[in-house]
Amino acid sequence: MIISGSLGLGLWYRQQFISRLQTLRELEGILELFMSEIRYGKSTLPECCLHLAARLGEPYAQAFRDVFEEMQENTGAGFSEVFCRHMEECLAALPVKKEDGENFLRFISKSSYADEGMQLRTMEMSRELLAGAIERVERENEEKCRLAVGLGAMSGLLLVIVLL
């Protein structure tokens, strides 16, 4: 039982590394969808949120719906403030580091641009930052995943030997 428990812990850590990589890819895809909505759909940022809510799964869909609904209520808060608040809540429940969330939300700090071209350029810069993080995490994950599983199994064996 000790060996299987330790191995299970190692597998859990491995899954955490893989989940972070999957989440980063999802965030990159969200930025690409945003860019597509602006470029081809000629949508405003709140309208983009409504369209993305219909296309994405949870937890992103609810966060985007909340952003759109709050912007429709016209509470006086700016889009970047509302978007950041809801997306930070959403990202807090996901297996990403703080810097990953900041890279994703970087484009929204410059959303005051009325020009479609500038909005797209800032989104592209955020997407490139996420792509760099994805590339770095992919390189690191192979070793970390093997190490997590190996250390889990070996620590289980060590505990069994010590307890005997």
pLDDT digits (tens, 9 = 90+) for 37-71: 888 877 777 788 888 888 888 888 888 888 888 88
- Give the mean model confidence (pLDDT) for residues 3-7: 85
Sign of the alpha-carbon torsion through 45, 49, 54, 57: positive
pLDDT digits (tens, 9 = 90+) for 145-155: 888 888 888 88
pTM: 0.77
pLDDT band at 114 (very low <50, low <70, confident <90, very high): low
